[in-house]
Amino acid sequence: MIQLFFQSIVLFLIYLSVHWVLLRTTGPKFFMAKSLVLLLVLSVVLFFRYSSHSVTSIICIQIFFIGITNAYLIFLINLQNSISFRILRELSKTTEGFVKHSKLQELYSTDQIISDRLKEMEENGFIVRHGEVIKTTNKGKWFGYGIFVFQKVFGINLFG
């Protein structure tokens, strides 16, 4: 079992290397889609690589690999989107070790945050904008409905 764990770590390191090269060469646009396709490809490779092993072994190594990879992707999403991470980054860049609240409000105004999110949503095909009017695309409607269902099923409240 420990050998399977180490093999899944090796595969994760391969995933990490390929993912890094992919993002550095193609840019961050659609990074989640690229990440999931790469995860799917390596999971299939992993399945065929260990197809001669027992079903339990295949399931264990897949669970280890996918679990490590999902933790990495969650970290990347937070690294990209988390206001808390952005605040910590600003604090760590100062020589004084502190930043005034007003400075953070300058850096991360609500208008800028909303504009950034809308731009990303439009680039990813979730919305279309016509001046001040914002409409969902079919893709956006499906994702919105899915979010609604997951929130209801898991009892997740909105925040912010």
- What is the DSSP track for 58-69? HHHHHHHHHHHH
Give residue 1's pLDDT. 65
Q: Could you tell me the pTM of the whole model?
A: 0.57
For CA atoms 133, 139, 143, 149, give the dihedral sign.
positive
Q: Mean pLDDT of successive 10-residue segments in the chain (160 residues)? A: 78 84 79 80 80 79 82 79 78 81 77 84 90 92 87 68
Give the number of other Cβ atoms within 10 Å of residue 98's Cβ. Answer: 7
Shared domain for 101 and 77, answered yes or no, is no
Shared domain for 125 and 56, answered yes or no, is no
| Token pair belonging to 29 | 């646009």
Give residue 160's pLDDT. 45
Out of 81, 106, 122, a domain closes at 81
Residue 149 structural domain: 97-154
Out of 30, 49, 81, a domain closes at 81
Shared domain for 45 and 109, answered yes or no, is no
Bridge partner residues of 94 (DSSP): none
Q: 86 in a domain, yes or no?
A: no
Q: 88 in a domain, yes or no?
A: no
Give residue 66's pLDDT. 83
Shared domain for 19 and 68, answered yes or no, is yes
Shared domain for 73 and 118, answered yes or no, is no
Shared domain for 32 and 66, answered yes or no, is yes
Give residue 159's pLDDT. 55
Q: 121 in a domain, yes or no?
A: yes
